């Protein structure tokens, strides 16, 4: 598309930003890498008025108090555990003793502490068992992500299925047995304590411990073990990927990425995850981030990076909720990475990836998008969101044309809505097609058809 970024953004966007003030996190946190301890004394302010809510904190924390802004009253709280909302944390709330309904102050003070296993001996570690939402101490570092680990209070609006993990912050981090500290959205520091501030809301990854900080141009590389030349190569590749997405979606890419490498606390787990602007590589490779600039024919790590960088749009720039939110977030990030792979990494890598998905979908019956009412309706969630749905998007692209597909994704990202559900998907697609017959055809053959994959295979038969 030849339309400029700014013009297209204005044409197709009602503001995606909320009028409410962002929640602010302030206070202190003290960490010991050797002991696996966390002591937090935080405050949340600018809390929105919600009728039905939970405040999530990691289940490994013991609560000393939830306290009022004047610091003269402890709130009586209740807690619940529901895997529908979080598997890693308890949900806390306050109840009015007179009305028995929930109430939520606009400012709450939190004091809590936790002690977590420090896994230093891999001979005694489990083969599997580390994951993104784990508060992990490996003897050298602490690693967290934002909303999933809930190492700071995460407000959750049950009615709107909205997590308030993105906050502004002004916090002091102390870790006397650390060499370096990084809080998502701030510059990493070489110190055992520091004050971190940010006025733009972000989800808070925390990475502290014994590691070196590298920088090349606008990118940081933490615990990377990369040479300057390798940093240059990784930074150049990242910039090329970001530029591709920016031009195709007509939405400027965000701030520079911070690359992090750390060892998992299990023997065989190895993965890559994004908590924008951080991209975290988890493995036991002593060469750090060198895998990300691999020269292998499969380009596997480059494709992983393409997927994770796509999450800036689907996951950070726009958060998706409701029954299809998880599928939208992961499947469109995967679709974008497939488009990038074909364009920048070559047909061979692209076809290898596509054929692998087709093989995984052989003789599999999956629920159509229209019939998904809850996450469990996906069946095999990994197969549905990473394999099935991206193939359907490629088929839809064939049906409506590539230009319309990019325009549709732009609208999915920029049009404001409370629920990013099936209705939202259909309405945004209808606004692009302006053709009721075509929309009906797509609904019948792809969105409400449990055999949609068969048609997709025929349409993509050149593969």
Which residues sit opposite 89 in a β-bridge?
Answer: 58
Output the pTM of the full model: 0.89
**Residue 174 resides in a domain:** yes
Among residues 189, 210, 231, the one where a domain terminates is 210
**Residue 15 resides in a domain:** no
**Residue 316 resides in a domain:** no
305 and 231 in one domain? Answer: yes
Q: So what's the pLDDT on residue 12?
A: 38
Tell me the CATH number at 139. 2.60.40.1730
251 and 150 in one domain? Answer: no
How many structural domains comprise the chain?
3
73 and 50 in one domain? Answer: yes
304 and 289 in one domain? Answer: yes
174 and 46 in one domain? Answer: yes
> What is the spatial distance between Cα 67 and Cα 432, in angstroms, rounded to a whole number?
50
Is residue 361 helix, strand or coil?
Answer: coil
Backbone angles phi, psi at 153, to 5 degrees: -65, 130
Cα→Cα distances 124→91, 139, 413, Å:
32, 14, 46
256 and 148 in one domain? Answer: no
pLDDT value at 235 more than 90:
yes
> What is the spatial distance between Cα 293 and Cα 298, in angstroms, rounded to a whole number?
12
Of all helices (H) and strands (E), which one includes residue 201? strand 193-203
Among residues 286, 310, 334, the one where a domain terminates is 310
**Residue 101 resides in a domain:** yes
172 and 31 in one domain? Answer: yes
> What is the spatial distance between Cα 74 and Cα 19, in angstroms, rounded to a whole number?
30
Cα→Cα distances 40→25, 130, 287, 326, Å:
12, 23, 34, 31
Please, how many CA atoms are within 13 Å of residue 429, restricted to the half-sphere of its CB? 23
Please, how many CA atoms are within 13 Å of residue 3, restricted to the half-sphere of its CB? 15
Residue span of the structural domain in which 304 resides? 216-310
For strand 89-95 and strand 102-103, is the pairing parallel, antiparallel, or unpaired? antiparallel
331 and 302 in one domain? Answer: no
Over residues 268-290, the mean pLDDT reads 92
**Residue 13 resides in a domain:** no
For CA atoms 386, 390, 391, 392, give the dihedral sign.
Answer: positive
Among residues 275, 310, 345, the one where a domain terminates is 310
**Residue 39 resides in a domain:** yes
Over residues 169-198, the mean pLDDT reads 97
- For 23-79, the pLDDT digits (tens) are 999 999 999 999 999 999 999 999 999 999 999 999 999 999 999 999 999 999 999
Residue 2 is encoded by which pair of tokens? 């030849």
272 and 149 in one domain? Answer: no
**Residue 319 resides in a domain:** no
Residue 394 is encoded by which pair of tokens? 């490629």
Of all helices (H) and strands (E), which one includes residue 274? strand 271-275
Q: How many CB atoms lie within 10 A of CB 432?
A: 21
For strand 166-174 and strand 24-32, is the pairing parallel, antiparallel, or unpaired? parallel
418 and 393 in one domain? Answer: yes
**Residue 125 resides in a domain:** yes
pLDDT value at 18 more than 80:
no
For CA atoms 171, 175, 180, 183, give the dihedral sign.
Answer: negative
- For 72-90, the pLDDT digits (tens) are 999 999 999 999 899 999 9
266 and 339 in one domain? Answer: no
272 and 148 in one domain? Answer: no
Q: So what's the pLDDT on residue 462?
A: 55
Tell me the CATH number at 332. 1.10.390.10
Q: Tell me the pLDDT band of 291, cut-offs 50, 70 and 90.
A: confident
For strand 107-115 and strand 61-67, is the pairing parallel, antiparallel, or unpaired? antiparallel
């Amino acid at each position: 598309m030849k339309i400029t970024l700014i013009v297209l953004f204005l044409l197709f966007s009602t503001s995606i930003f909320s009028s409410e003030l962002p929640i602010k996190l302030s206070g202190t946190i003290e960490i010991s890498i050797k002991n696996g301890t966390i002591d937090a004394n935080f405050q949340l302010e600018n809390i929105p008025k919600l009728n039905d809510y939970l405040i999530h904190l990691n289940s490994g924390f013991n609560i000393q108090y939830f306290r009022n802004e004047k610091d003269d009253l402890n709130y009586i709280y209740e807690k619940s555990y529901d895997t529908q909302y979080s598997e890693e944390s308890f949900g806390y709330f306050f109840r009015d003793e007179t009305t028995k309904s929930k109430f939520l102050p606009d400012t709450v003070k939190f004091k809590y502490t936790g002690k977590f296993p420090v896994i230093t001996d891999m001979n005694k570690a489990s083969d599997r068992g580390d994951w993104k939402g784990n508060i992990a101490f490996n003897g050298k570092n602490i690693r967290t992500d934002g909303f999933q680990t809930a190492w700071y209070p995460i407000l959750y609006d049950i009615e709107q299925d909205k997590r308030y993990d993105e906050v502004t912050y002004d916090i002091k981090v102390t870790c006397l047995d650390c060499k370096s500290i990084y809080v998502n959205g701030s510059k990493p520091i070489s110190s055992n304590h520091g004050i971190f501030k940010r006025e733009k809301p972000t989800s808070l990854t925390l990475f502290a411990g014994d590691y070196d900080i590298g920088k090349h141009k606008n990118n940081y590389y933490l615990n990377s073990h990369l040479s300057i030349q390798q940093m240059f190569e990784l930074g150049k590749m990242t910039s090329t990927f970001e530029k591709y997405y920016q031009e195709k979606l007509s939405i400027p890419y965000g701030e520079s990425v911070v690359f992090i490498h750390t060892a998992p606390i299990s023997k065989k787990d190895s993965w890559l995850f994004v908590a924008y602007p951080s991209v975290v590589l988890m493995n036991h490779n002593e060469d750090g981030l060198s895998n990300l600039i691999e020269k292998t024919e499969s380009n596997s790590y480059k494709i992983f990076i393409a997927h994770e960088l796509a999450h800036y749009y689907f996951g950070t720039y726009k958060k998706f909720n409701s029954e299809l939110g998880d599928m939208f977030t992961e499947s469109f990030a995967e679709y974008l990475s497939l488009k990038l792979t074909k364009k920048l990494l070559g047909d061979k890598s692209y076809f290898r990836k596509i054929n692998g998905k087709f093989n995984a979908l052989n003789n599999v019956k999956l629920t159509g998008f229209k019939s998904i009412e809850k996450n469990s309706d996906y069946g095999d969630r990994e197969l549905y969101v990473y394999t099935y749905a991206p193939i359907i998007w490629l088929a839809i692209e064939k049906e409506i044309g590539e230009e319309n597909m990019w325009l549709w994704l732009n609208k999915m990202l920029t049009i404001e809505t409370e629920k990013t559900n099936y209705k939202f998907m259909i309405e945004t697609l209808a606004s692009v097609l302006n053709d009721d017959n075509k929309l009906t055809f797509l609904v019948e053959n792809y969105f409400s058809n449990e055999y949609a994959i068969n048609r997709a295979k025929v349409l993509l038969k050149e593969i």
